[in-house]
Amino acid sequence: MKALVVGGNGFIGSHLVDRLVADDWEVSILHKYEQRRFGAVPEKVQQFRGDLTQESLVEEALDGVDIVFHLLWTTTAIHEVANRDPIADVQANMIPSMALMEACCKAQVKRLVFTSSGGTIYGPAKQLPIPESHESNPLNAYGVSKLAVEKYLQMFRHLHGLDYAILRPSVPYGPRQNPLGRQGAPAVFTYRVANGLPITIWGDGSVTRDYFYITDLVDALLLAAQRPLTENRIFNIGGGQSISLIDLIKAIEKGVDRTAILDFKEARDFDAPNIVLDTQQAEQQLGWSPKVSLDSGIAKMWAWMQEHIPPPKE
């Protein structure tokens, strides 16, 4: 099998590429960055440097490809960026995604697997855990554009026969997630607690998410690429456990053996207060379930961080 990983040098993409190579797939990457932020790309992986607006490059990258994993999103790191300029978000993410769908149809790709967003698609939860059938009312531009791509995938299948699967992850974390950024609470908080740096908490810390380890997401991506699908092609992927920010910080304090310094600020109006996803559909149709506990995942991430991320300069 031959796969193209769009965004293959990012946090999720790099882990997926390593697994595909280990499973003897023929793998290509399309990414605007030539190298990963952390570590090296496996030698046998073919790389295409650019973006989805470069029609000839995308056509070349899709030659002979069976499965496309679409992981690339320019505003993943900071959702506020999409809110400040939603037109730019559409131009940078939604329109290129549509171009990829058209190119996949021309190349007769067998399936396109898209990573959407379980944390933003639904908006305020009217029931917990949240099933895929829950109404979609995203509160930020990031979630709106992710949902739009989902709808276009459905349209492309209806009009052009493009096979697809959509994963709606909650909050994946693990090695290679940038601990020096602003997004990705488990990684950022672990680094800051371990190094005696303050953590900003928007609200009172009661906001909940279902965090889950990166290898569990990679498992789901591979299953979504290969399993026979019914009309249900959208799958929630999460840890299955509602964890507040305060509880997350307590787990990190335990993992790094240090007390956190907390700086509470007024809650932001675009953050959904409670997100825990119902993953029964993924369990039943894909045979997927999370395997790595929060304590184990934090320990693995902290071990990686100690080896690869230097402490801040005094």
Domain residue ranges of the chain, discontinuous segments joined by +: 2-172+213-237, 173-209+240-275+292-308
For the residues 121-135, what does the mean pLDDT come to? Answer: 93
Percent of the chain residues past pLDDT 90, beyond the cut = 80
Per-residue confidence (pLDDT) for residue 148, from 0 to 100 = 96
pLDDT in tens, 205-260: 998 999 999 999 999 999 999 999 999 999 999 999 999 999 999 999 999 999 99
Tally the C-alpha atoms within 13 A of residue 129's C-alpha that lie toward its C-beta.
20
Return contacts of 81-87, CB within 8 angstroms, 24+ apart. 82/140, 82/141, 82/142, 82/145, 83/140, 83/141, 83/142, 83/270, 86/141, 86/144, 86/145
The conformational region for residue 269 under phi > 0 = left, psi -120 to 50 = alpha, else beta, is alpha
Q: Which of the four CATH numbers 3.40.50.720, 3.30.420.10, 3.90.25.10, 3.40.50.360 does domain 173-209+240-275+292-308 have?
A: 3.90.25.10
Per-residue confidence (pLDDT) for residue 77, from 0 to 100 = 46
191 is catalytic: no
Per-residue confidence (pLDDT) for residue 286, from 0 to 100 = 98
Amino acid of residue 194: A
Percent of the chain residues past pLDDT 70, beyond the cut = 97
Which one, of 83, 79, 177, lies nearest residue 119 by Cα?
79
Q: What is the CATH number of domain 2-172+213-237?
A: 3.40.50.720
Per-residue confidence (pLDDT) for residue 34, from 0 to 100 = 79
Least reliable range by pLDDT among 71-80, 115-124, 181-190: 71-80
Q: How far is CA 146 from CA 119, 126, 168, 241, 285, in A?
A: 11, 20, 10, 24, 23
Task: Copy the structure tokens of residue 220.
Answer: 């789901």
Which of 122, 142, 173, 191 does the annotation list as catalytic? 142
Answering whether pTM is above 0.75, one says yes
